[in-house]
Structure 1
């Protein structure tokens, strides 16, 4: 019986080691796939709101003209489109989104910057929005910063999200980067919030 228990303990230890190695390898593979997917979307834009079939048989030409029409001379470079296609399912009220791959990364970033500054784009009486094309995992990581970003907006502190999911905050002449939302929350509570409260109190006197 003692020999059997000892043998079983050895087997369990071997299985635990093997399981640990498999978990480590699995995480490495998942991280590698995630990095590859992020890289594959690096030049992409996610366009929502364009009417179904408005692009007819030439989506590349249509999107190129669309970008020129809505941004015009504000664009600092030529919006050369490499690929444009629809994804998912849609209805008349919610047309299928479009994925647009730009030939130049600089053009993609310039378009996103202009889209953020405009907020919502009106194109032929239709409201259109342009976002970066991100993976579900990146979207989840970015969403973790929603609460602290809302607080930063209320206190009018300059901030933004760097790709893929890094919060950048500029306060009192200093710029800080946060990849962990809990660290960003701590900075807000201990540094920004006390100053904001003091400013409001002084303003109310």
Structure 2
């Protein structure tokens, strides 16, 4: 039984051989299929490469064609430009001529307008100049009238104050009881007169006196100019005292005249320094007595010119004085040297 079993293989034992045969066949078949697929793949790659080369060739041909077309277009444009250059030049020249004519006409019109405007301005200026001259004449007349009115007003004010004087420096204690009475007696005694008639006498308040803590001025009004002139005349020679205090006496002048005189202070200093006589005049003016004659000064410009002239003359005189002094000194020195010999 066992031998029989050994000799007879089961079906299961025989199937591997058969399967191996089938597998070898399938292997060669797959190998054949793989070789065919590889060949097909290569063929496809070559086809793609051919298509790429074709496209490159087509692009190159199109580029060459476009270059040829551009070259042709440029030649065409050049021919067209050459053909129409004369027409363009002729048209341009004609347009320029037309514009030049129009511009020239506009310039002529502008020139004409400017000429007319200038003529109108000249006429207007001439008319205004004439009117200004007429106005200036009127202004000068009005100024003359104003100056004349001012002068008359100054004369009137001065005349009203012509009998008045101001006494400065009198102690505040003087005239406490009766200023007019005490001052009348003091002036009569000073002038050695039995009686002096005074219309008014009172203290004048001022900012300067209050600021400097000084006694207020006394305004005195005489009944006659002779009494006032007598007081001022004697005061130039003899001092006048009130309560043992020496006082000063000034002419009573309008504030406007005092302000004008204050502006000439620099010239008065020069005149006093050079011992040149001068007088105040009414209406306002300064009369200067010069070696060359009298000179009337009314304006600041005239005062400045005279001050400059006097300053130059003073400098020249000082230089001449120095030169004379040096010459005299040299002469004395020579005489001394001659005596020693």
Same fold (TM over 0.5): yes
Distance 1:108 1:114 in 2: 10
Q: Which has the higher helix share?
A: 2
- SS of 1:99's partner is strand
Distance 2:291 2:186 in 1: 40
Correspondence list, 1:96-111, <5 A? 96-111=216-231
Question: What TM-score do you get using the length of structure 2 for normalisation?
Answer: 0.43
- Aligned match for 2:260, one of 125, 141, 152: 141
1:81 aligns with 2:198: yes
Task: Label 1:126 to 1:144 Cα distance change in 2 as closer, same or farther (>3 A).
Answer: same
- 1:15-49 deviation digits (Å, cap 9, x = unpaired): xxxxxxxxx7xx79x94766544332221111122
- SS of 1:134's partner is coil
Distance 1:157 1:176 in 2: 12
Task: Label 1:55 to 1:102 Cα distance change in 2 as closer, same or farther (>3 A).
Answer: same
Question: What TM-score do you get using the length of structure 1 for normalisation?
Answer: 0.66
State the Cα distance separating 1:97 from its structure 2 match: 1.9
State the Cα distance separating 1:108 from its structure 2 match: 2.2
What corresponds to 1:48 in structure 2?
Answer: 168
1:167 aligns with 2:286: yes
- Aligned match for 2:301, one of 177, 182, 191: 182
State the Cα distance separating 1:99 from its structure 2 match: 0.9
Alpha-carbon RMSD: 3.5
- Aligned match for 1:153, one of 248, 252, 272: 272
State the Cα distance separating 1:141 from its structure 2 match: 0.9
What corresponds to 2:182 in structure 1?
Answer: 62
- SS of 1:84's partner is strand
Contact 2:155–2:282, Cα closer than 8 Å, also in 1? no
Correspondence list, 1:29-48, <5 A? 31=150, 36-48=156-168
- Aligned match for 2:317, one of 184, 199, 202: 199
Task: Label 1:195 to 1:69 Cα distance change in 2 as closer, same or farther (>3 A).
Answer: farther
Contact 2:154–2:283, Cα closer than 8 Å, also in 1? no
Task: Label 1:144 to 1:106 Cα distance change in 2 as closer, same or farther (>3 A).
Answer: farther
Distance 2:160 2:262 in 1: 21
Distance 1:165 1:111 in 2: 24
- SS of 1:203's partner is helix
Correspondence list, 1:12-23, <5 A? none
Distance 1:41 1:103 in 2: 11
Task: Label 1:98 to 1:153 Cα distance change in 2 as closer, same or farther (>3 A).
Answer: same
Q: Which has the higher strand share?
A: 1
State the Cα distance separating 1:143 from its structure 2 match: 0.7
Distance 1:126 1:177 in 2: 38
Larger radius of gyration: 2
